[in-house]
Amino acid sequence: MRSMLAENRLHPSDFIWPLFICDGRDCEEPIGSLPGVSRWSVDRIGAKAREAADLGIPCIALFPNTPNELRTERRRRSTATI
């Protein structure tokens, strides 16, 4: 009865898994401001994407890391065109 009256149901197919990327090889860098979340090197992102697919999460969003020394107050590096 409760499931019939539920307004919202979330399923893994409703989610997007954010993955944070770092430089290097075979790296995992925990993100202090996001407990339980890490940055992964490109060679390890594929395994994380497969993990998402195995969990039924159909989409990932990739977030690269700009090193602190390249960050500016006006975000010049992150908005530069290639």
Number of structural domains the chain divides into: 1
Q: Are strands 59-64 and 16-22 parallel, antiparallel or unpaired?
A: parallel
Domain span holding position 71: 10-79
The verdict on pTM exceeding 0.85 is: no
Q: Does the residue 2 lie in any domain?
A: no
CB 20 within 8 A of CB 65: yes
Q: Please write the tens of the pLDDT for every residue from 33-75.
A: 999 999 999 999 999 999 999 999 999 999 988 777 877 777 6
Q: Does the residue 59 lie in any domain?
A: yes
Q: Does the residue 22 lie in any domain?
A: yes
Q: What is the pLDDT of residue 71?
A: 76
Q: Does the residue 3 lie in any domain?
A: no
